[in-house]
Each structure stands twice: as structure tokens, then as C-alpha cells.
A and B are shown apart, each in its own frame.
Chain A
């Protein structure tokens, strides 16, 4: 573990454990992410990536008695209790979901403006009154992800890739300094996936937003994230430069033969999700 540095870490997770019945979803997880980093969270399905991200946003609380999570020094949760201040902490953290989680019947612009909700008062938001300046900022956010022309359209009328970019625009509208992305490209075709990853990279490099993104396609982690954290059965089993992830290490993480890990191939390989029965693979 690194020593605490002068500026507070962007994300600081200390010995967080989460138990469902008898199953350990998270087992004493400790992670430190410095401001401005872009970190991939990899590992097979059920390894605890989503659970961890939801803990960082305070949507889930860890087990009682131990563990804490801080964002830029502000407490998200401690000893299994979510901070009473959580809404204000969350307002600076954008969360990107696998299923986009936009409100399908609302226009795209309103979905993006929802990123402002923590900053406008309850009454003003109930009346749906957003200033022209706020609306222009939301439109700019949509323009940056290439969707300005769809601002008046209902979110449900857009493709998955477009919806996910709109979700990123919502995080921009939040003026998020951190983006947590939970399998943001798992439901997208390769081209849309690339688009979404490039949006996240642009935010990271141009705006200095810290990004923690869970991916089950190792190629994307290697391509876009300098650092990778690998999880298996609720534990962190690798934390270091993505470039140093050897095929041996990946085999340990995913528990499959290294031949199936196509590191420099162009076709994304779905690891740990779909293992074809041998009979079909052999063409029988």
C-alpha cells in the first residue's frame, strides 16, 4: 500500500467487506486511486466489481464494524454506515450504469439536466425550472458527446451507445470530478463501445476527471487504462500497470487457458461470460 500523500486520494477504499448470507462479495478490499487516474477494474462475472463500485457511490453499505470509503477526503461510508452527507458527496461523482439508467420518457436534455438536481432546490426542480444558462450548459455537454441534435428527443428513442454517451453527458452536467462506470460497454456493439471509451478517455485527459471503470473485456482495459485492478471472488488479486498483465496473470484471474485470451486481437473477447461448449466449438 502507498503512503498517504499530500492531496487526498480521489478514491480511498480501506478494508471493505460485504457479505451476502455466507458469500463474501467483497473481502477486505483496499484500493487507492490518485486524482486524474484512469483505472480499469477487471475480473470475471461475480468477482465483485459492480458491488465495489456501488459501495464507492454509497448505493450499498459494507459490513458493520470495519472498512471505510472516502472520496477526495470526504466520507462515503464507514463501518457499514453510509455517511449522512452522502447526497452532497454523490453530487460530485458521476455514475455510469451498464443499462444507462436514463429516464426513457424524458427528453435527452432533461435527462442531462437531472445531473444538476443536487444543486437546484427541491421546489425549483419540482417545477422543472432550469435557467437558460443551465440549459445551455446541458446542451454543451450533449454537444461534446456528439448528441446535441437529439436534445429534444425522448431518451428511449436512441440507440444503446447514444444513451450511454448521454449518461456521460449527465455526469458532465454534474461537474463530476470522479466517474464510476459499471460495465459501461457490456451491452454495446464494438463500435459504440469504442465511442464510449473514447468519451471517458477525453474527460480523463482533457478535464482531469478521475475514472474508475469496470470492464470484462481485457482488451479495452489494456487499450484505454494505464492501470488495472483485477478482482476474483471478492478480493483484489492484481493492482498495477495494465501493460504488466501477463497471460499467466490473466489465466489466474479468469481461470481459463491462455489460448483463449487474445491479447492483441482486434475482436473483443468476452471473458468469463460465455464459454462455448466444446461440441459447438468443434463444429459438431
Chain B
């Protein structure tokens, strides 16, 4: 036994692999340096001008909750925007996600659908919000539509990645009973991806509460509008109060969705 193991040679990493690894490391270093220059990174400024930051932040130390009813009301509107934006996005992402899965559709279907989803995803909610404000006017509905468009793009990608990672064997089991394509999806694929889909949707709902507070800044309803006004008028006390309310609400939602995830997944 010992004699045999001594004569065995350990597998050697081929020279080509080593060189490729070195090359990959160099490319990564160049990209990082290039991006450092472009984004004008000056970390030492944080230390040099720390006095300014401290002065700015000290304004937040005295949150002004005198208008808390209005803040809470607008925060709830922000959540309502996120609820409908996310729900519409899920409804859109299920068919779009299935259509952009390479294991379900031919390339001439999934490639164009994927490009449309890329476009939805790469255009920021703020830009969609301004577009929809011109259509439906200022207010929360424009925010809902903006979140709907952007989140459909994101969820469709996540949904289709889940579909592409399924185990094909149960699907074949369903196919072998004589089921049609739609039934194969409903009985073979959906049960496999549902836990991931729920998890992604909840995560996007949480992100959408944050996004909804930002789209408000361009006039699409919710806490964002108040927040933007307060920041522009240097009213740090009110800004701090709104941010605290927002953080508390988002944390509560996070707890609730963690609970849901634990139950169903």
C-alpha cells in the first residue's frame, strides 16, 4: 500500500493554466486601476475634511419629529407604491422570465426578450418616473409604473436564472405522461422554482420601498418629495426624522419578510 502511494504522482498544474491565471490577475489589476482613476478616488479627503462632515452630521443629531404624522403618512404611501409596483412586476416577470429561459425557448425568442428586459433593468427608476409623470401627472401612480418597469426587468432575469438551474428530470417525467408544454411548466418547473421566486420577490419588495422613497424626489409621490424639500432647504432636523422613520419601517418589513421566507421555503 505504502509502496504504491509513493509511486503515485500528484497532478501538476499545467504551465498554460498558470500563465492564464497570471494574465487574469494582471487584467483585473489594470481594470481596478483604470476605474480608480475614472472615479477620482481620494480616500484621504475623508480624513482631511472630516470637520466639514462632522458639522453636516451634527445637524442630524437633533431630529425634528413635530410633523411625524405627515412623515408617517407619506412613508405609508411609499410602501403602497412599492406594493403595487412589485406586484405588477411579478405578474410581468413570470411570463417574461419563462420566455427568456434558454432551456424553455429557442434563441430567437429568449434573446430578444432578454434584451428588452436588459433595457428595463438598465434604465433607472427615476428616469422611468419622469417619463410616466409626463403621461399620468405628478403623484404616486407614476411611481408605481416606474417601479413596475424597472423591477420587471430585474425579476425576469432572476426568475429565468432559477428556471435555467432546475433539475430537468422531473420535467421529463411529466412530459412522458403525455402532458403538453404548458402543463410541463406548471407541474414540472414552477414547483421547483417557487421557493426562489418568492425569495427574490420579497427581496425586490424591500428594495422597492427604498427606491419608492427616491422616485418621490422627482415628484412621483411618497416620502421622497418631503425628503427632497427638507434637504434642499437645509432642514436637517426634519430630514433626520424622516430617515429614522424610513429605517424603522424598512427594518420592520425586513423582519416580516424574513418570517414569510422561513415559513414557505
Q: Are B174 and A105 in contact (CB under 8 A)?
A: no
Q: Are B170 and A118 in contact (CB under 8 A)?
A: no
**A101's contact among B169, B178, B191, by CB below 8 Å, is which?**
B169
**B170's contact among A91, A94, A102, by CB below 8 Å, is which?**
A102
* A167 CA to B169 CA, complexed, in Å: 13
Which residue of chain B lies nearest to A92 when distances are taken between CB atoms in the complex?
B178
Q: Are B187 and A114 in contact (CB under 8 A)?
A: yes
Q: Any chain A CB within 8 A of the CB of B194?
A: yes
Residue from A59, A87, A103, A174 with most neighbouring chain B CB atoms (10 Å): A103
**A118's contact among B179, B182, B188, by CB below 8 Å, is which?**
B179
Q: Any chain B CB within 8 A of the CB of A216?
A: no
Beyond A59-B172, A104-B170, whether A170 also contacts B177 by CB under 8 A is yes
**A106's contact among B172, B178, B191, B195, by CB below 8 Å, is which?**
B191
Contact with A along B175-194 (1 / 0, CB 8 A): 11111101100111001101
* A110 CA to B180 CA, complexed, in Å: 17
Q: Any chain A CB within 8 A of the CB of B95?
A: no
Contact with B along A105-147 (1 / 0, CB 8 A): 1100010001101100010011000000000000000000000
Q: Are A125 and B172 in contact (CB under 8 A)?
A: no
Q: Are A126 and B182 in contact (CB under 8 A)?
A: yes
Which residue of chain A lies nearest to B186 when distances are taken between CB atoms in the complex?
A126
Interface size bracket, B side: 20 to 34
Chain B proximity of A196: nearest CB distance (Å): 16
**A87's contact among B169, B179, B186, B187, by CB below 8 Å, is which?**
B179
Chain B proximity of A151: nearest CB distance (Å): 17
Beyond A105-B191, A106-B191, whether A117 also contacts B169 by CB under 8 A is no
Q: Are A90 and B169 in contact (CB under 8 A)?
A: no
Q: Are A102 and B173 in contact (CB under 8 A)?
A: yes
Q: Are A97 and B177 in contact (CB under 8 A)?
A: no
Q: Are B177 and A114 in contact (CB under 8 A)?
A: yes
Chain A residue contacts of B174, Cβ below 8 A = 103, 114, 117
**A122's contact among B172, B180, B188, B194, by CB below 8 Å, is which?**
B180
Beyond A88-B178, A91-B178, whether A125 also contacts B187 by CB under 8 A is yes
Which residue of chain A lies nearest to B179 when distances are taken between CB atoms in the complex?
A117
Chain B residue contacts of A102, Cβ below 8 A = 170, 173
Chain A residue contacts of B182, Cβ below 8 A = 122, 126
Chain B residue contacts of A170, Cβ below 8 A = 173, 177
Q: Are B177 and A91 in contact (CB under 8 A)?
A: yes
* A117 CA to B174 CA, complexed, in Å: 8
Chain B residue contacts of A254, Cβ below 8 A = none
Chain B residue contacts of A126, Cβ below 8 A = 182-183, 186
Q: Are A103 and B179 in contact (CB under 8 A)?
A: no
Q: Any chain B CB within 8 A of the CB of A99?
A: yes
Q: For residues 82 through 98 of chain A, which have their beta carbon under 8 Å from a beta carbon of chain B?
A: 87-95, 97
Chain B residue contacts of A91, Cβ below 8 A = 177-178
Beyond A87-B178, A87-B179, whether A117 also contacts B172 by CB under 8 A is no
Which residue of chain B lies nearest to A90 when distances are taken between CB atoms in the complex?
B178
Q: Are A97 and B178 in contact (CB under 8 A)?
A: no
**A99's contact among B169, B180, B192, by CB below 8 Å, is which?**
B169
Beyond A103-B191, A114-B187, whether A174 also contacts B178 by CB under 8 A is yes
Which residue of chain A lies nearest to B187 when distances are taken between CB atoms in the complex?
A114
* A106 CA to B174 CA, complexed, in Å: 12
Chain A proximity of B186: nearest CB distance (Å): 5
Q: Are A90 and B176 in contact (CB under 8 A)?
A: yes
Chain A residue contacts of B179, Cβ below 8 A = 87, 114, 117-118, 125
Q: For residues 83 through 141 of chain B, which have their beta carbon under 8 Å from a beta carbon of chain A?
A: none
Residue from B187, B188, B195 with most neighbouring chain A CB atoms (10 Å): B187
Chain B proximity of A282: nearest CB distance (Å): 13
A-B residue pairs in contact (CB < 8 Å), sample of 25: A59-B172, A59-B175, A87-B179, A88-B178, A91-B178, A92-B178, A94-B176, A95-B173, A95-B176, A97-B173, A99-B169, A101-B173, A101-B176, A103-B187, A105-B192, A105-B195, A114-B173, A114-B179, A117-B179, A117-B187, A118-B180, A125-B179, A125-B187, A170-B173, A170-B177
- Interface residues of chain A, those whose CB is within 8 Å of chain B, are 57, 59, 87-95, 97, 99-106, 110, 114-115, 117-118, 122, 125-126, 167, 170, 174
A114-B187, A115-B177 known; 8 new pairs, CB 8 Å cut-off, are A90-B175, A91-B177, A94-B176, A102-B173, A103-B174, A105-B192, A170-B177, A174-B178
A-B complex: 6 closest residue pairs judged by Cβ atoms: A101-B173, A91-B178, A118-B178, A95-B176, A117-B179, A90-B178
